[in-house]
Amino acid sequence: MSKKCLRPLLCCLFMAALVLPQAHAKPKSSTKPTETFQHRADAQQLAEELAQQLSAQGLDPKWVKNAVLKAHKLPVVVKLVTPPPTGVAKNWALYRSRFIEPKRIQAGVRFWQAYAADLARAEAQTGVPAEIVAGVIGVETIYGQHKGNFRVLDALVTLSLDFPSSHPRQAERQAFFKGELAQLLTFKRHGVNPLTLKGSYAGAMGWPQFMPSSWNRFAVDFDDDGRIDLLNSPADAIGSVAHYLKAFGWQTGMPTHYEVRLDPATLQLDDLMVPDILPTFSVANFMAKGAIPDAAGMAHNGPLALIELQNGSSPASYVAGTENFYVITRYNWSSYYAMAVIELGRAVAHEVGAHAR
């Protein structure tokens, strides 16, 4: 499936597309009151457009316009999404060390032990392994410890109007955030006050860091209390992450990746990298181009992708990614992110098993 086709659905994916490895840094928010947007012509136009759009969904146009125009500009948010200087090398080893570390693993063990029944039920219903769900929540928020302290309304209005012009896809990103702003305001229809919600600098919320459109489309009431609460219900977060990955094509029982060896004599690296992380090659074609998977990978029934993980000035690491690896990147468009999720979840599962023995 192409990125173009996926774009209307992609909600949690934006941060890693901006910059790696800063994508999951948890900045100390600077959210002191700043100027509002009420005197800006472009803000007034945006407020009018949203008021007209959302009035058809039952929202009071006056309330919509007031919410947008009284949002506070957050210069720190603009700074955080500004692309880094060119030439900054990606580094998997460094990126990995930020997530696969004792504090996060032990938090994951406590999370797993507390919500084992919910993780098992989510896996039974969706086929998404408990360790993958645990990996996602651990990478996103250290199991609810860092859910963000920016007012989401302020962040989304700021990014809708003042997204940095230095970004190569400024117009596309501004449109993305305008859509997320509209989705946020619709929370009011479900009894959630969108003006008070806190989240990340890009507007992601709760234990799983769902963007507003992800919340509206994929979140589930997994604890059966009659409401969806990704801010305070770990059970809802577990069910929602599993539902999200299932919706994007998770296949029960399929590994995420295999070990791979590159054969210098037959390697056609440029050809292998053309599809990027999209699984495209049959096992036979993969091997013919010099990428030799391990024994389990040779028996894989489905397409593979060669996943390259750069290590700064050191040699890159490679794995053979399956369609399930690609599904994890639909949560965040980054192979580095996907590997961090996989390895953190695996480390937590290992420790849980060790505690059980």
The overall pTM is greater than 0.75: yes
Over the stretch 299-324, which tens digit does the pLDDT of each residue have?
999 999 999 999 999 999 999 999 99
Over the stretch 120-161, which tens digit does the pLDDT of each residue have?
999 999 999 999 999 999 999 999 999 999 999 999 999 999
Q: What is the pLDDT of residue 355?
A: 75
Higher pLDDT, 155 or 84: 155
- As a whole-number percent, the residues of the chain with pLDDT over 90 amount to 85
* Given 123, 131, 140, 180, the catalytic residue: 140
φ/ψ bin of 204: left (φ > 0), alpha (ψ from -120 to 50), beta (otherwise) = beta
Pick the CATH number of 3-87+147-232 from 3.40.930.10, 1.10.8.350, 3.40.50.720, 3.40.50.12780: 1.10.8.350
Q: How confident is the model at residue 278 (pLDDT cuts 50, 70, 90)?
A: very high
Q: Per-domain residue ranges for the chain? A: 3-87+147-232, 257-321
Task: Reply yes or no on whether 172 is catalytic.
Answer: no
Residue 256, pLDDT above cutoff 80: yes
Q: How confident is the model at residue 88 (pLDDT cuts 50, 70, 90)?
A: confident
Over the stretch 17-69, which tens digit does the pLDDT of each residue have?
333 433 444 455 445 567 999 999 999 999 999 999 999 999 999 999 999 99
Mean pLDDT, to the nearest integer, of 67-88?
90
